[in-house]
C-alpha cells in the first residue's frame, strides 16, 4: 500500500436548497447591525453587542413576494452538483491515445452474470478478448512495477481485481473511489472463495474521473465515443472519452 491512497477527493459541490432574503437593522443604541430573516410581520430583535431590544419594521408582503420570485430565479441559475450518473459517463484519458484497443465494452455486472450462467461458454467466447469496463477504484497498491486495484461497479456488487502495468504518472493521480475506465483481458472468477470477483490481467487504465455531461454540453475534444446503441457496447451506458485538461491528471 502507498500513502497516496489516503488522499481524499473533495465531495461534489453542493447547490443551495433555498435562498432567503435577510434584513439588517441598526441597533438604536449602539448602531451594530442585527440581521433577521425577512418576514412580513413586525418582530422584536435583540442586539448581540449591547443586549438592547428593539422593534423592527416588517417587509411589506408584496415586497417579500417579489424578492422571493427573484430569488427563485437566481436559485435556478446555480448549477446543480453533478452526481454519479446511472447511464452516462465521461472519461478523460490518462494519456492521449489515438486508438483504444478493446474489443468489447461491457458492464462488470453483465460480465459476472455471463460467467455465473455458463462459465465454460463465457470463457470460450471471451477468452483473450480485450474488454473495456468502468467502475470505482477502492483499493490500490503497487509493487515492483505492477499495480493492482480492486474495482467495483457503481451500480452493482460486481467487483474486479485488475492487474495494471504500472504507469507512474497515471496511477499517482488515483485515490480510493476514483471512477475509472480500464481495459484488460478478463480471465474469469478469482476463485471459489471469491465468487463475485472477476480477475483481469494485462490492464491499462484508459480514463479517470467520470462525470455526467450536462444536457447540451459541448466537449472540447472527444477522443472516442461509444454510444449505447453500438454493437461493441454491451454496457448500460454511453461511453465518452475526452482529452485531459493540462492539469487534470497530476
Judged by beta carbon, residue 50 or residue 157, the one nearer Zn ion is 50
Closest approach of Zn ion to the CB of residue 33, in Å: 9
Q: And the C-alpha cell for 210?
A: 467520470
Residue 123 and residue 162: Cα distance in Å, rounded? 17
Q: How many CB atoms lie within 10 A of CB 29?
A: 13
* Contacts to Zn ion by CB under 5 A: 27, 29-30, 32, 47, 49-50, 52
Q: Smallest gap, in angstroms, from Cβ of residue 32 to Zn ion? A: 5
Which of residues 25 and 189 has its CB atom nearest to Zn ion in the complex?
A: 25
- Least Å from the CB of residue 31 to Zn ion: 7
Query: Toward Zn ion, which CB reaches closer, 1 or 30?
Result: 30
- d(CA 219, CA 225) in angstroms, rounded, equals 11
- The per-residue DSSP string of 151-196 comes to EE-TTSS-EEEEEEE--HHHHHT--TT-EEEEEEEEEEEEETTEEE
Is 45 or 84 the residue whose CB approaches Zn ion more closely?
Answer: 45
Query: What's the rounded Cα separation, in Å, for the pair 133 and 163?
Result: 14
CA distance 165 to 171: 10
Give whichever of 54 and 177 is closer to Zn ion, judged by the CB atom: 54
> How far apart are CB 49 and Zn ion at their closest, in Å?
5
CA distance 238 to 230: 9
CB of 24 to Zn ion, least distance (A): 13
* Residue placing its CB nearer to Zn ion in the complex, 7 or 29: 29
Residue 159 CB-density burial (10 A; 0-12 exposed, 13-18 middle, 19+ buried): buried
Rounded to the nearest whole angstrom, what is the least distance from the CB of residue 20 to Zn ion in the complex?
24
Beta bridge partners of 90: 211, 240
How many residues belong to the chain? 250
Please state, in angstroms and rounded to a whole number, the distance separating the CA atoms of residues 250 and 244: 11
Amino acid at each position: 500500500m502507498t500513502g497516496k491512497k489516503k488522499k481524499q477527493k473533495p465531495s461534489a459541490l453542493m447547490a443551495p436548497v433555498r435562498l432567503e432574503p435577510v434584513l439588517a437593522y441598526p441597533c438604536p443604541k449602539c448602531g451594530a447591525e442585527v440581521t433577521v430573516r425577512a418576514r412580513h410581520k413586525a418582530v422584536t430583535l435583540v442586539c448581540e453587542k449591547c443586549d438592547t431590544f428593539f422593534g423592527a419594521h416588517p417587509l411589506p408582503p408584496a415586497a417579500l413576494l417579489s424578492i422571493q420570485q427573484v430569488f427563485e430565479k437566481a436559485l435556478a441559475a446555480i448549477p446543480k452538483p453533478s452526481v454519479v450518473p446511472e447511464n452516462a459517463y465521461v472519461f478523460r484519458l490518462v494519456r492521449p491515445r489515438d486508438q483504444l484497443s478493446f474489443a468489447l465494452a461491457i458492464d462488470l455486472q453483465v460480465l459476472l452474470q455471463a460467467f455465473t450462467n455458463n462459465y465454460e461458454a463465457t470463457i470460450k467466447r471471451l477468452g483473450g478478448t480485450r474488454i473495456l469496463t468502468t467502475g470505482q477504484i477502492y483499493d490500490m497498491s503497487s509493487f515492483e512495477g505492477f499495480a493492482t486495484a480492486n474495482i467495483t461497479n457503481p451500480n452493482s456488487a460486481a467487483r474486479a481485481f485488475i492487474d495494471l502495468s504500472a504507469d507512474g504518472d497515471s496511477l499517482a493521480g488515483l485515490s480510493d473511489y476514483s471512477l475509472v475506465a480500464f481495459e484488460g483481458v478478463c480471465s474469469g472468477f478469482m476463485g471459489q472463495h471469491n465468487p463475485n470477483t472477476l480477475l483481469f490481467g494485462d490492464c491499462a487504465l484508459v480514463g479517470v474521473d467520470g462525470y455526467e455531461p450536462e444536457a447540451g454540453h459541448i466537449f472540447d475534444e472527444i477522443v472516442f465515443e461509444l454510444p449505447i446503441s453500438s454493437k461493441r457496447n454491451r454496457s448500460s451506458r454511453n461511453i465518452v472519452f475526452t482529452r485531459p485538461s493540462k492539469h487534470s491528471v497530476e
